[in-house]
Copies of this chain bind each other. A is one copy, B any other.
């Protein structure tokens, strides 16, 4: 499969590397308005490049598209690809607001698009195993899900300004993970925190506690922070009536040091998301390629992306008003 990539930034590089490592795929063409970036990444992979994403989408030697461009461009690029019948793997989030998504769904009507959303964490080997344990009945009826997600350090203030806020930018992954185990979410209650003095006037939260429930009363708790001294803290626990299952952080080695001060001290957490979710990105790509080749609907879908964004908007509203929001 010859794949075109829209964007040549950090996440585009990850996907290009995953494609190179996949036995059945190659990087065909890369588009980025910053043509130097496009050229550099293209050359590293023996691919062509352009400044214009439309060229990639229409190129006859490009079989599928991965969208790694800025969020405001996602919807139009999904639509353009759908119009020429090309499968798309689109980075999250689909858009910055649900209006844009509603319009996209309307525009896509009748096009039968094959679009996969880049919620890579569903493919993390540990989280995926937790899900298999649920599917296999090991956990029993899921009752409570506890998700902890903390970044190692806050991004630059300028990034925050255009990020869409913590819920759309960071928690969106946890909202999808909650949906992975709870299905559709019925209520959202979010507490936003502003504890980092450096971000005091950023207008965004730097920490958050969110409680989600589904129609059956199953609850998920998400704890977020924009900083964590111990590293990139990514944990999940699913509690059911038969078992409790958790996925711990990943370390670079299994070394443990014991001295008179502390024993069994382990490495810091694997840091940052490109390393922590390295396997997840590769497995996500494999699922995309497999779905395209077998003409299956890939999962997570565009609807999953829309649902996560709706929760993010509800969380923002809840945190701002101090009241729960019903979806």
Residues on B with C-beta less than 8 A from A162 are none
A66, CB-defined interface residue at 8 Å = no
On chain B, the residues within 8 Å of A125 by CB distance are 252-253
| Contact call B230/A195, Cβ cutoff below 8 A | no
Bound Cα distance from A245 to B258, whole angstroms: 6
Q: B246 touching A143 by the CB < 8 A rule?
A: no
Chain B residue with Cβ nearest A150: B239
Check: A111 CB closer than 8 A to any chain B CB. Answer: no
Q: Is the CB of B265 within 8 A of A269?
A: no
Residue pair B227, A241 in contact (C-beta under 8 Å): yes
A: number of interface residues (CB 8 Å):
70
Tell me, in angstroms, the Cα distance from A43 to B209 when the chains sit together.
52
Closest residue on chain B to residue A245 by CB atoms? B257
Q: Is A107 an interface residue (CB 8 A)?
A: no
> Whole-angstrom distance between the alpha carbons of A60 and B146 in the complex?
54
In the complex, the answer to whether B254 meets A126 with C-beta atoms within 8 Å is: yes
Whether the pair B265, A262 counts as a contact (CB closer than 8 A) is yes
- Residues in B with CB closer than 8 Å to A21 are 21
Given known A-B contacts A243-B258, A267-B263, A194 and B209 have beta carbons under 8 A apart: no
Query: Top 4 closest A-B pairs, CB basis?
Result: A262-B265, A230-B258, A265-B265, A248-B254
